A and B are shown apart, each in its own frame.
Chain A
Amino acid sequence: MLLIEDLQVKLGNKKILKHLDLEILPGETHILFGPNGSGKTSLLMTIMGYPQYKVTGGKITFKGEDITHMTIDDRARLGIGMSYQRPPSIQGLKTRRIIEACSRDGVDVDALAKQMNFTDFLDRDINVGFSGGEIKRSELLQLMAQDADLALFDEPESGVDLENISLIGNTINALLQRDSGEQPCSAARQCEPAGPCKAVKSCEPTKSSKGETPFKTAGQPGMTRTKIGLIITHTGFILDYVTADKGLVLYNGVIAGKGHPAEIFKQIRKVGYKECARCAA
């Protein structure tokens, strides 16, 4: 479980997050909305552990451990992984090498790359000259090798063409153990391929009194879904593929609104972030 309590974060002299609270239960995936510059990337970078995001108050707990001041590599080893909006290019470092390095137990890089349509890029320097969409696929490939338990996705579908978007969507589902059998939440099923979502069912997880019971993944009897996802999106395309459990609106440094992802997205389109944050809160 990821638990964020009263988180305050500064970047340089600027207060970016102010008293932010967030809880994601095992097996859940949340979608994070918010206007440009509202601090979505900052929140993910803070969870990942980037030192320039100074935590000035509050606490982050993951898998029962207080990780607020844990180093970035310790967090990665604890199971946190991120797909970046703008990752750095590293001259001379082959993509194959970094994918190998992501996996602690060794991984069949060629097989993974084939799945992601990325074989031709393995011998190129990581991110050097990659197009926007290629960066996304490379980032997901690294996350797959890492097999993170908490996967943070910063705009995974922006800049991705219409054909690759289903690949991205399916990959995220696979990463979050949402790819087998029936989905517990059926929002995506009700979307026309090219149109906006229509009616949507609520998909709050069935919780025990303590709220800790993870989803059962249908189609894989006995298998319990534990992976946690947090996905930033502006376009909402990802909602057509990933059946998320909750939508969040980041506004003014706090989670100002919560609700069903497709519903929230619809509201944002209709009345804008500001109004949506107010009405959904």
Chain B
Amino acid sequence: MRSLDDRAHEAKDKKAAIGPDVDLDAYSLESPTHVDVKNLNLMPEADKEKMAFAGLDISEKERSGTYIQKDAFAIHSGSYQDGLEIIPIRKALKEMDWIQEYYWKLASVDTDKYTAQARLDLQNGYVIRALPGKKITLPAQACLYLDKEGFNQNVHNIIIAEEDSELHIISGCASASHVTRGLHVGISEFYVKKNAKLSFSMIHHWAEDVVVRPRSVGIVEKGGLFLSNYISMKPVKSVQSYPTIYLVGKGAVARSYSLLVGSPGSELDVGGRIYLRAKDTRAEIVSRAITNGGNIISRGDIVAEVPGVRGHLECHGLILNGGVMHAIPELKGMVDGVELSHEAAVGKIAQEEILYLMSRGLTEEEATATIVRGFLSVDIPDLPAPLKAEIDRAVDLSQKEVM
């Protein structure tokens, strides 16, 4: 059997199935050395501010643990709660045997040249694990930070919610204010075991010329719940992401929510695919996308492979100031007795709504911003209050900056 490295080598030039191709040679893999930071408060103000945009709580008051990576270096990693493990993946690969049961077990190294490169040039990434039966109600936080101009960051994350555990993660990605260009490749593998509950909220806060290629795969066992949220509102050159989730145990549930804003020059090709492979599994994919002159492709795909499963897709797009919005909802039922539905709408803000608010004394701009803010408020069930607040905050901040 060919080794993973062999397969990765062979896939080194393999273009991705979708999304604009990226010339990897145009970016540098050389990271400057960044030293460990014990006290997050001592980080440069500019870094703290950017990381806060991506949901990082510097005070760590409302957090159960933190991982921060700057370019290729893990500069902070620690858990403050019993039953929660946060380990840089390089350390885990060196010191923990069990990691081999998870490392590249869901994602394939030869998916495309990004997975291949993440295999061959792994820099770092995090392993976050909730031990069996442990309910970690305060969110754990992670931030992947791009500090060097033109850097190609390759990270690999593994997230494990062991049986009967509960784990909430807020994972932010941001670039320093002096960075205009960069490439972020992120492999994430999610394991939600029997009756476990995992929520994962990813907030992107990149710069105008940054290219992002996440590759995520998750698996949910019997009675498990996987809630995945993605927020990208800041201008970015290109994001192409199509995470896949497999529901393999009876009654497993996956729900995915995305909030996207496409600014001029931005190209977002974002979606999600969920396979319903066991009885009574349920899937929901919800996206709210606004283009302000950018190009957005919003995908969603639910595949029902066994009877007695349900899935719903909801894809709403607003065109505010030019730009293109392409909603591609797909449903595939492969047997009798499945219930799949979708709802897609692309349009503009109804004039009637703007006038209604203007008749209450708001200017046209205020009315528009108020309606847009409403459009981006989706109620996400099962999300703990601090995370809800964090998402609201991220949306508020970005909206102010972008609109």
Q: Give the interface of A toward B (CB within 8 A).
A: 48-51, 71-73, 75-77, 81-82, 84, 87-88, 90-94, 97-98, 101-102, 104, 125, 142, 146
For this complex, 25 residue pairs linking A to B, each with C-beta atoms less than 8 Å apart, are A71-B358, A72-B358, A72-B359, A73-B364, A73-B367, A75-B359, A76-B360, A77-B361, A81-B359, A82-B359, A88-B350, A88-B356, A90-B353, A90-B356, A90-B371, A92-B376, A93-B377, A98-B357, A98-B370, A101-B360, A101-B362, A102-B361, A104-B361, A125-B374, A146-B361
Residue B120 at the A interface, CB < 8 A? no
Q: Identify the closest chain A residue to B352 (Cβ).
A: A88
Give the distance in Å from the alpha carbon of A97 to the alpha carbon of B362 in the complex: 12
Complex interface residues of chain B between 342 and 366 (CB less than 8 A to chain A)? 350, 352-353, 355-364, 366
B377 touches A73 (CB 8 A): no
CB pair B359 A48 closer than 8 Å: yes
Chain B binding site: helix, strand, loop or mixed by DSSP?
Answer: helix
User: Per a CB cutoff under 8 Å, which of A73, A88, A92, A104 touches B358?
Assistant: A73
Whether, in the assembled complex, B178 has its beta carbon less than 8 Å from a beta carbon of chain A, the answer is no
| B359 lies within 8 A of A101 (CB) | no
Q: In the complex, what residues of B have CB within 8 A of residue A48's CB?
A: 359
In the complex, which residues of chain A have a beta carbon less than 8 angstroms from the beta carbon of B358? 71-73, 76
Residues of A within 8 A of B360 (CB): 76, 81, 98, 101-102, 142, 146
B378 part of interface (Cβ distance < 8 Å): yes
Identity of the chain B residue whose Cβ is nearest the Cβ of A73 in the assembled complex: B358
Shortest Cβ distance from A142 into B: residue = B360
Contact status B361-A76, CB under 8 Å: yes
- CB of B104 closer than 8 Å to a CB of A: no
Instruction: Find the B residue at minimum CB distance from A50.
Output: B355
For B373, the chain A residues whose CB sits under 8 A away are 92-93
Asked whether, in the complex, the Cβ of A73 is within 8 Å of the Cβ of B359, the reply is yes
Bound Cα distance A98, B367 (Å):
10
Q: What is the CB-to-nearest-CB distance from B248 to chain A, in angstroms, rounded to a whole number?
A: 34
CB distance from A189 to the nearest CB of B (A): 34
Residue of B nearest to A51 (CB): B355
B367-403 near A? 1/0 per residue, CB < 8 Å: 1001101111110000000000000000000000000
B398–chain A nearest beta-carbon distance, Å: 16
Q: A73-B362, A88-B352, A90-B371 are in contact. Are A101 and B357 (CB under 8 A)?
A: yes
Q: Within the assembled complex, what's the spacing in Å between the Cα atoms of A72 and B377? A: 27
Residue in chain A with minimal CB distance to B372 = A92
Given A72-B355, A88-B352, A88-B356: A97 in contact with B361 (beta carbons within 8 A): no
9 additional contacts (CB under 8 A) given A73-B362, A84-B356, A90-B374? A72-B359, A75-B359, A87-B356, A88-B352, A91-B374, A93-B370, A98-B360, A102-B361, A146-B361
Whole-angstrom distance between the Cβ of B275 and the nearest chain A Cβ = 30
Q: What string of 1s and 0s marks CB contacts (under 8 Å) between B319-360 and chain A? A: 000000000000000000000000000000010110111111
Other-chain residue from A50, A73, A92, A102 in contact with B363 (beta carbon distance below 8 A): A73
- Closest-CB distance, B391 to chain A (whole angstroms): 13
Q: How far is the CB of B348 from chain A (nearest CB, A)?
A: 14
B403 CB to nearest A CB, Å:
15
Q: Which residue of B lies closest to A103 (CB)?
A: B361
Bound CA span A102–B356, Å:
11
Q: Which residues of B contact A76 (CB under 8 A)?
A: 358-361
| Minimum CB–CB distance for A179 against chain B, Å | 23
Q: CA–CA, A191 to B360, complex, Å?
A: 35
Residues of chain B within 8 A (CB-CB) of A104 are 361
CB distance from A155 to the nearest CB of B (A): 17
Neighbouring B residues of A84 by C-beta, 8 Å: 356
On whether the beta carbons of B362 and A92 are closer than 8 Å, the reply is no
CA distance A88 to B370 in the complex (A): 14
**Chain A min CB distance to B318 (Å):** 11
